[in-house]
Amino acid sequence: MSNLRLTALLALVVALPAPADWFSEQEIETARELRERALAGDGGFEIVADLTTRIGPRMAGTEADAKAVAWAEELLNDIGFDRVWLEPVTFDTWHREFERVTVRAPGVTEQELVSLALGFTPATPEGGIEAEVVMFEDLAALQAADAEAVEGRIVFIANRMERSRDGSTYGPAVQARSQGPQVAAEKGAEAIVIRSIGTSNNRFAHTGMTRFDDASQAIPAVAISNPDADQLERMVALGEPVTVHVEVSAVYSEPYTSHNVIAEITGSESPERIVALGAHLDSWDVGTGALDDGAGIAIITDAARLILDLDERPKRSIHVIYFAAEEIGLLGGRAWAEKHHKNFENYQLGAESDFGAGPIYEIAARVSDEAWPVIEAIQAELEPLGIELGGREASGGPDFIPSLPHGLAVVDLRQDGTDYFDYHHTDNDTLDKIDPDNLAQNSAAYAVLAWLAAQSPKDFGSGPELLEQ
């Protein structure tokens, strides 16, 4: 048993002052029981082990996507949710066949670099593209460059993502991936190679989405691993022109319909009022999507199962939502927002787990002023898990972002992501990267949150008026 688990169990023994203004003693007692049972169990780990073993990689629009949806429906029915249903999500698809980046320079032996094509980028002509490399320190340097320095060349953006607990270093770094290809294309580049948006020195390339304003002008875009980016930098530093050969084979296919998979614990008093827990079922086509986002699937399902096991149903309903096609553009989240936003006065709170399996250290929430003390009261029951009270800015997680403009109230249970970008979108995102104790801490936090939010004497303020706050 971890120290954390022990601390949490001891906390049950020591009588804490109940925030009786908001919850009954019995409700608080139930929250503590849920917390204890989550920490003592390994139901979450079993779920992510089963998903990653039986389904493995499950990129949106692949055969494995359909298998994952079937797996999910069966699991949620087997657990005994009151209702399980599917909501369709239709999207264009793309799949990778292979990519190969080879570097040639005078006095250097031809070497292949470890690479992954970025999602939805075009194939090269058969036989690939070969051109001289023009290296930029970062996206800003590329943006500032004259087109004539770029035209006909292969752009290389060299800057490296820094490590951070809260993942805040991802946003600035990922612009090289999200915007770099478009900028390079505008300036006439033949292709673009970026240093992976990742923090480890292991030799894995990190894939992910990019965007072109005009698909007809899209260029092949690949990421290379950190060690390979170092290598390419060293080759460029030798001072002679460096040539890179890029070959990508990838296929765009017909639109595909996947599904958001939703399971309900039907509320006993206000069943139309909903606390929505989310995670996404799809993964990239590399790795088995254990951290991204098998862990999230496991956490919210384990939390909800513990609530289902109670003798009573919560007052409000709880939804467990497995979003489809998150990786390729939050498509499940968009479809969900589109379908449900007119009813957001009933969808009272959204919280998605999609940042791996590190321990949660903070709760933040975007809720009405009136509901904020309820969040404080919930935090008091998360405190024994090492979870502190954060601020009033929150996104709810990627799949709830499309709901934010419609005023969905959201909670962030913020995880320690120090190592998350070592594995994110790589072949190396596999089950062994999950610490079962940390996963259980997450389940405990989501169980406490979902239970108390479903019992809350106040709604959380979802709806257009939240936007004005």
Which of 421, 353, 412 is closest to 387 using CA atoms?
Answer: 412
* Phi/psi at 316 (5° precision): -90, 165
Comparing CB distances to a copy of itself, the nearer of 49 and 310 is 49
Comparing CB distances to a copy of itself, the nearer of 277 and 434 is 434
Comparing CB distances to a copy of itself, the nearer of 242 and 394 is 242
Provide the β-strand partners of residue 131.
244
Residue by residue, DSSP assigns 126-148 as TT-EEEEEEEESSHHHHHHS-HH
CA-to-CA distance for 104 and 108, rounded, in angstroms?
A: 7
Contact between 266 and 313 (Cβ < 8 Å): yes
CA dihedral 188, 233, 162, 353 (to 10 degrees): 60
Among 82, 87, 92, 230, binds a copy of itself (CB under 8 A): 230
Among 58, 313, 366, 414, binds a copy of itself (CB under 8 A): 58
Give the x/- contact pattern for a copy of itself in 249-288, rule: CB under 8 A. Answer: --------------------------------------xx
- For a copy of itself, the binding residues in 112-141 under the rule CB under 8 A are 114
Provide the β-strand partners of residue 117.
222
- For a copy of itself, the binding residues in 3-42 under the rule CB under 8 A are none
Binding region for a copy of itself (CB under 8 A) out of 141-149, 223-231, 263-271, 442-450: 223-231
Which of 149, 216, 225 is closest to 189 using CA atoms?
Answer: 149
* Phi/psi at 60 (5° precision): -55, 130
CB of 235 to a copy of itself, least distance (A): 6
Is residue 57 close enough to count as binding a copy of itself by CB under 8 A? yes
Binding region for a copy of itself (CB under 8 A) out of 29-37, 59-67, 132-140, 247-255: 59-67
Is residue 202 close enough to count as binding a copy of itself by CB under 8 A? yes
CB of 163 to a copy of itself, least distance (A): 15
Comparing CB distances to a copy of itself, the nearer of 50 and 82 is 50
Is residue 294 close enough to count as binding a copy of itself by CB under 8 A? no
CB of 155 to a copy of itself, least distance (A): 21
CA-to-CA distance for 78 and 368, rounded, in angstroms?
A: 36
Strands 316-323 and 243-265, by their bridges, are antiparallel
Is residue 111 close enough to count as binding a copy of itself by CB under 8 A? yes
CB-based contacts of 327: which residues, under 8 Å, 6+ apart? 59, 60, 119, 208, 209, 280, 282, 283, 284, 292, 425
Is residue 368 close enough to count as binding a copy of itself by CB under 8 A? no
Q: What angle do CA 69, 75, 79 make, to 5 degrees?
A: 150
Which of 444, 273, 461 is closest to 372 using CA atoms?
Answer: 461
Is residue 227 close enough to count as binding a copy of itself by CB under 8 A? yes
Among 76, 117, 219, 431, binds a copy of itself (CB under 8 A): 431
Count of residues touching a copy of itself (by CB under 8 A): 35
Binding region for a copy of itself (CB under 8 A) out of 162-170, 224-232, 361-369, 452-460: 224-232
CB-based contacts of 248: which residues, under 8 Å, 6+ apart? 98, 99, 100, 117, 121, 122, 123, 124, 128, 220, 222
Is residue 64 close enough to count as binding a copy of itself by CB under 8 A? yes
Is residue 421 close enough to count as binding a copy of itself by CB under 8 A? no
Comparing CB distances to a copy of itself, the nearer of 181 and 287 is 287
Six token digits for residue 293: 């986002």
3-state DSSP of 57-114:
CCCCCCHHHHHHHHHHHHHHHHHCCCEEEEEEEEEEEEEEEEEEEEEEECCEEEEEEC
- 209: helix, strand or coil: strand
CB of 437 to a copy of itself, least distance (A): 16
Six token digits for residue 388: 């502190």
Comparing CB distances to a copy of itself, the nearer of 141 and 238 is 238
CA-to-CA distance for 410 and 396, rounded, in angstroms?
A: 5
Among 8, 55, 185, 222, binds a copy of itself (CB under 8 A): 55
Is residue 436 close enough to count as binding a copy of itself by CB under 8 A? no
Helical segments of 386-463, H only? 420-423, 436-455
Binding region for a copy of itself (CB under 8 A) out of 1-9, 61-69, 76-84, 186-194: 61-69
Is residue 418 close enough to count as binding a copy of itself by CB under 8 A? no
CB of 138 to a copy of itself, least distance (A): 20
Is residue 226 close enough to count as binding a copy of itself by CB under 8 A? yes
Q: What angle do CA 149, 151, 153 make, to 5 degrees?
A: 90
Is residue 245 close enough to count as binding a copy of itself by CB under 8 A? no
Comparing CB distances to a copy of itself, the nearer of 101 and 364 is 101
For residue 321, the one-letter residue type is I
Is residue 49 close enough to count as binding a copy of itself by CB under 8 A? yes
Chain residues binding a copy of itself by CB under 8 A are: 49, 52-58, 63-64, 67, 107-109, 111, 114, 201-204, 226-227, 230-231, 234-235, 238, 287-288, 427-428, 430-433
